[in-house]
Structure 1
Amino acid sequence: MSERVCAVIPAAGRGARLGADIPKIMVEVADGVTVWHLLHRRLRPRAEHVHVVVSPEGEAPFRDLAAEEIGSGAVSVSVQERPTGMGGAIFGAAPYWEPYDAILVVWGDQANLSPATVDRVVTGHREGGLTIPLVPMADPYVEYEIAGSALVRVRQSREGDECRPGGLSDVGVFCLGTDGLRKEWTRYLSESAPGAVTGEVNFLPFLPHLSRITGRPLTVVPVDDPDEARGINTRADLDFARRAYLRDTEAGGR
């Protein structure tokens, strides 16, 4: 793929469920290695630029953490002043990613994401399309419904939807062509109701809108390991990520 890719990491959350006093992207996994370090290592080979969206409280600490990468110009930072959801964070940062051909959205807590998945998503992305890696989950928190070649619905437990056992879930990574993307988000905002529980116009239901309404070609990248879908939301998740990091380090990975 010859497209220029900008990775965007929405990381403006407060890490409340984790019980942390810093954003989850800055949580240490092991030996001074944070979630940010892991994500940057995975994204750097496939993205020309990385942009991180932080909260007002998280800006100074993150700039300190990523000072070298920011200083080199390979990483940029913006602030989401109010917690209006992932879509607000992503599209509020549009001036940073619109000069690129594709945007690679990555949640800021995906410490278990594999470099192979990132590579397959970027390599498999079709110009102007929508590419999502999906994995079957025994008890999915989010479920994707696909009919033929279209994404027709995203069920979200956080909004009160019932997700079906064995359904397809994402691993916190999404690749989208940037041409006309912000305009389509603005249109979507004007037509969509806020989520029943969060009160936010969420990013994930925007994806079936892109597939069904705008006709963007959908590419699904199959993922075999459900552990890749496990973000860091609780202390148990963090302990899992730490064990995985140490195991992979000993095996010569990471």
Structure 2
Amino acid sequence: MNDPVAVVVLAAGKGTRMKSDLPKVLHTIAGRPMLHHVLAATEPLQPARRVVVLSPGQDAVAASIAPIPTAIQHPPRGTGDAVRAAKAELEGFTGTVLVLFGDTPLLTPETLGQMVAMTEGPDGAAFVILGFELDSPGRYARLVLDEAGNLKKIIEAPDLKGDEVDIKLCNGGALAVDGSRLFDWLDRLEPHNAQGEFYLFDLLDFVHEEGRKAGVVWIDPVDTMGVDSRAGLAAAEAKMQDRLRRRVMDEGVTLVAPETVFLSFDTVIGQDSVVQPHCVFGPGVKIGPKVEIKSFSHLEGATVGIGSRIGPYARLRPGAELGERVHVGNFVEVKNAHFGDGAKANHLSYVGDAEVGAGANIGAGTITCNYDGFEKHLTEIGAGAFIGSNTALVAPVRIGEGALVGAGSTVTEDVGANDIVAVRGTRKVAPGAAVRYRETRAARKAAKKKDT
């Protein structure tokens, strides 16, 4: 049986380079806050305990992750001190502790699983970090391995000497450590610099003193890239989008121009669906098989059934639930509305807070007038009903099955099944009046010009 795992996420940094009132770790990547990405990567490990270390005043962060407990680091005195702040939440824990950073949204469950696996068994490592190679490591701390491939030393970039400058293996940040010894080792840490900071990775010295093994899990540098600026946020978004696009294509989806399609962390698209260029998927979208999403469509919080066709220039807002073979066409907006199988709204319509029956047809320019300034109201359109172009359905209202509503109608009362209704103003015609109107207006304009 595998040892239990606990997770400590360090998220106390203020992120001043982001220049934002929003805490850094709550900035989103692919529709989800960075910190939430990190926590989600730990879930397959089924951690026995999780705690997020924050600084004072980060109530919004704590609320966003509830009921996961938090610990407060105050004042900020380095990464070692931050982990020490979590001691109360890990009291008595003796398994493997993963220490992660809340601004590394591209960490994967597979990487974390490899780290934990290296700590397990009688010959397991007591200290495991991530390592990646760069041709130009710059400011990254370097990792020195012994002949057996075990971690021997971590050297900070300013401390590199001689041939050490040529080392390309860099410290990836995340740590897996023996929980039974963690806090004893932390209590022995000395300040790392003039600011009195305690450096987490100095624990390696204590590991070696006790004759324990330290290891490295080699990864792609993308997996552990951190975000500390708006430019970094954009770079992480680009990498995450690359992953998400690859995932849906591997699952049998055609992205005609992948680089123009933006997905969310939870986007689901069924096999043999086709997504045309320049489409955006917000959180909560589930697309069935054999669906076509045409260009410049925006979807969020929506469900689309098998064989449906969306767009171009369609917008599906939260609560849009489309059955099979539904057509929602160009410049159509759907919000909190259910479309039965085969229903159509092909162009220039707004359908909100509505139930649209199977096979119903909604003509161009139709709107459901769902809001009275205070409350939203329901429009019901029966199966097989036909709504003529440029119609206003003033909710609450019900159009019966098979009913026909004439173009240009403003419908304020229920329409019975199979009825035909046309609600229009009385036509008035004044023969030749347009000529007299133009003559009168022209004379008035000329008189006004003469007076000035």
Normalising by the residue count of structure 2, what TM-score does the alignment of the two structures yield?
Answer: 0.49
Provide the aligned length of Structure 1 versus Structure 2.
Answer: 238
**Is residue 245 of structure 2 the alignment partner of residue 244 of structure 1?**
no
Aligned with 2:16: secondary structure?
A: coil
User: Does 2:185 match 1:184?
Assistant: yes
Tell me how far apart the structure 1 counterparts of residues 40 and 166 of structure 2 sit (CA, whole Å): 33
Residue 10 of structure 2 contacts residue 102 of structure 2 at CA under 8 Å; is this kept in 1?
A: yes
Shift of 1:193: 4.7
Match of 1:92 in 2: 85
The residue type paired with residue 56 of structure 1 is P
Query: In 2 relative to 1, CA 213–48 (structure 1 residues): closer, same or farther, beyond 3 Å?
Result: same
1:143, 1:155 within 8 Å by CA — same for their partners in 2? yes
Alignment of 1:102-251 (within 5 A): 102-126=96-120, 127=124, 129-140=126-137, 141-148=140-147, 151-157=151-157, 160-162=158-160, 164-187=165-188, 189=189, 192-195=190-193, 198-207=195-204, 209-223=205-219, 225-251=220-246
Residues 233 and 164 from structure 1, CA distance in 2 versus in 1: closer, same or farther, beyond 3 angstroms? farther
Query: Could you tell me which amino acid in structure 2 is paired with residue 21 of structure 1?
Result: D
Alpha-carbon contact 2:81-2:197 (below 8 Å) kept: no
The residue type paired with residue 92 of structure 1 is A
| Closer, same or farther: CA 202–165 of 1 in aligned 2, 3 Å | same
2-side partners of 1:131 and 1:248: how far apart? Answer: 26
Q: Which amino acid aligns with 1:38?
A: H
Q: CA deviation at 1:15?
A: 0.4
Equivalent AA in structure 1 for residue 171 of structure 2: D
Cα-to-partner distance string for 1:104-143 (whole Å, 9 max, x where unaligned): 0001111122222111111222357112221112233121
**Rounded Cα–Cα distance in structure 1 between residues aligned with 2:19 and 2:201:** 25
What is the SS of the residue equivalent to 2:17? coil
Helix, strand or coil: the match of 1:204?
A: helix
Q: In the aligned structure 2, how far is the partner of 1:194 from the partner of 1:168?
A: 22
Work out whether residues 106 and 173 of structure 1, in 8 Å CA contact, stay in contact via their aligned partners in 2. yes
Judging by fraction of residues, say which structure has more helix: 1
What is the identity, as a one-letter code, of the residue corresponding to 1:49?
Answer: R
Provide the secondary structure at the position in 2 that maps to 1:133: strand
TM-superposed CA distance for 1:153, in Å, is 2.6
- 1:164–1:18 CA distance, 2 compared to 1 (3 A): farther
Shift of 1:184: 2.1
Distance 2:147 2:209 in 1: 15
2:40 paired with 1:41: yes
Superimposed CA distance per residue, residues 1-24 of structure 1 (whole angstroms, 9 cap, x where no aligned partner): 611111101111100233333433
For the 8 Å contact 2:127–2:213, the answer to whether it is kept is: yes
Structure 1 position 164, deviation (Å): 2.9
Residues 1:144 and 1:84: Cα distance change in structure 2 (over 3 Å): same
Residue 145 (structure 1) shift: 1.6
Could you tell me how far 1:98 is from its partner in structure 2? Answer: 3.8
1:56 partner SS = coil
Asked if structure 1 preserves the Cα contact closer than 8 Å seen for 2:7 and 2:100, the reply is yes
Asked whether the 8 Å contact 1:130–1:174 carries over to 2, the reply is: yes
- Selected match of 1:80 from 73, 82, 88: 73
Q: Which amino acid aligns with 1:195?
A: N
Alignment RMSD (CA, Å): 2.2
- Please give the alpha-carbon distance, in whole angstroms, between the structure 2 residues aligned to 1:19 and 1:164: 34
> Are 1:143 and 1:168, in contact at CA under 8 Å, matched by a contact in 2?
yes
In structure 1, what is the Cα distance between the partners aligned to 2:55 and 2:191?
25
Higher relative contact order, chain-length normalized (CA < 8 Å, sep 6+): 1
Deviations 1:18-77 (A, max 9, x none): 33334332122233x11022111111111233210001121x10122113xx1xxxx211
Amino acid at match of 1:77: T
For residue 52 of structure 2, give the secondary structure of its aligned residue in structure 1. Answer: strand
Q: Tell me which residue corresponds to 1:11.
A: 11
User: How far does residue 206 in structure 1 lie from its aligned partner after superposition?
Assistant: 2.2
TM-score (norm 1): 0.84
After TM superposition, the structure 1 stretch with the greater mean CA deviation from structure 2, 90-99 or 244-253, is 244-253
Structure number with bigger Rg: 2
